[in-house]
Amino acid sequence: AADALYYRLYYNQVAGNTANLMEASRHSHVPNLRDHFVTPNLARDVYEGEESWKSFLSNTNEHVEGKEAIPCTIADMVRFDDASPSNISNPLFELYKARMKETVHLFYASGWYKHASVQRQHIDALRAYRSSTQQQEEHETPAAKALVMWRDSCRDFACNVYAYASITSPMLKKMKEVLVSNGIESMIEIGAGTGYIANLIEQAGLPIQALDIAPTSNCIDSFNDYHGKSPSFTLVEEGGPSSLLSIVQIKKKALLLCYPPPGSLMARDCLKNFMRSGGNYIVHIGEFAGLTGCARFETILSTNFRCELRMSCPSWGTDAAFLTIFKRNDRRCKEENAVLIPCSNCSVRPATKRCLLARSLAYCGKNCFLQHARSRREIFRERMVYFDAGNSKYLDFDCGMCYCTIEECRADVTETAAPTDRAKN
């Protein structure tokens, strides 16, 4: 409750929803999110959780199963980031690490996550999810109530103030390396929001033009539904899908779509216009068959592009976000459709089922599910999910409780036309 109050106070202040007596100096009465949660005297559980976090990391395998060369667990991402010094200022990931320390201290070190009553709540949440007919709940992550509320308190306002995706410096470095090696000189982002991700890319040394139908720094005649009037982190100009029809030298640019809105045709329209103008590379940050984009966008992407790079994003426990780079197919050659959701174990075959308790887990079949058991336990532990032997049947690949088919995941809310490039009040 206290965290939620703090977030609300800070967000209302920076979003322009409350008066700021120091407006002229642009100083905040409420400390920013990153500073609050990394300051010992302000966020005691983060400070007290330092030893719990070290213990948590020491009990985590550094090289989990599977064939991914890039870190896919939270522990590995943190280790990899800490071992890769960077001059990039990334307050969202710093905040993320602080909240993970707090989570481990409160839920893991205390033994809460193993309690029998918590396991029953997970099972009840799975049953409720399976019986729900509410469209807005289709992409929720079922869990014990306290864990659901905690995850939301960690994620929601951070996303409003910064960005919906968290990425690390090593991810930025790898993304730039792949793009530059293929002749890409700059990027263009549609739906840039606060410009947070665009700012990270600029810091990484890759020029980017950030566009949004309602830039947060210029919400006089419009309102940004996701970020309000939160301060922008770089210049975000007004523009939308149609802006891609007038971009010069587009073959040397990569299109960035970060968390395109779900159930909207915005991502599809961007991709179609980008292709019509001759663009060849797209960077997508989000969750396929789920929280971002739409089925029509995914169909066009998978049939016209091939995946060059896939990296798992740090998860707040409620999503399965990946940073993926796609290259347009040579139209003279017949190529197989790109795999948007590969198996978590073999990383080659398309997944047929996704885990409801940890959405980043998806498998092509029972054999890969069984082979990935050790890694899966690590990921469940990071999500504060534990089932003892008596309840392990609910985690079985074929029991119909914990895993849904990818087609079920893809049955998203009704797709709506993308808003015009000029946002309305």
pLDDT tens by residue, 329-376: 987 667 788 999 999 999 999 999 999 999 999 999 999 999 999 999
Residues 299, 303, 307, 308, CA torsion sign: negative
pLDDT value at residue 25? 42
- What amino acid is encoded at 190 in this protein? I
Q: CA dist 43 to 39, 99, 108, 343, 400, Å?
A: 6, 10, 18, 38, 41
Contacts of 271 (CB under 8 A, 6+ apart): 255, 257, 282, 297, 300, 301
pLDDT value at residue 22? 38
Residues 319, 325, 328, 333, CA torsion sign: negative
Number of structural domains the chain divides into:
1
Residue-number span of the structural domain to which 106 is assigned: 1-20+28-425
Output the pTM of the full model.
Answer: 0.86
pLDDT single digits (tens) 296-327: 999 999 999 999 999 999 999 888 999 999 99
> What secondary structure letter does DSSP report for 422?
S
- Taking the C-alpha atoms of residue 147 and residue 158, their distance in angstroms, rounded to an integer, is 17
Residues of the chain scoring pLDDT < 70: 1-36, 38-44, 61-72, 133-139, 218-223, 332-333, 411-425
Contacts of 173 (CB under 8 A, 6+ apart): 84, 86, 204
- Taking the C-alpha atoms of residue 416 and residue 425, their distance in angstroms, rounded to an integer, is 18
Contacts of 411 (CB under 8 A, 6+ apart): 138
The residue assigned the tokens 């599809």 is 268
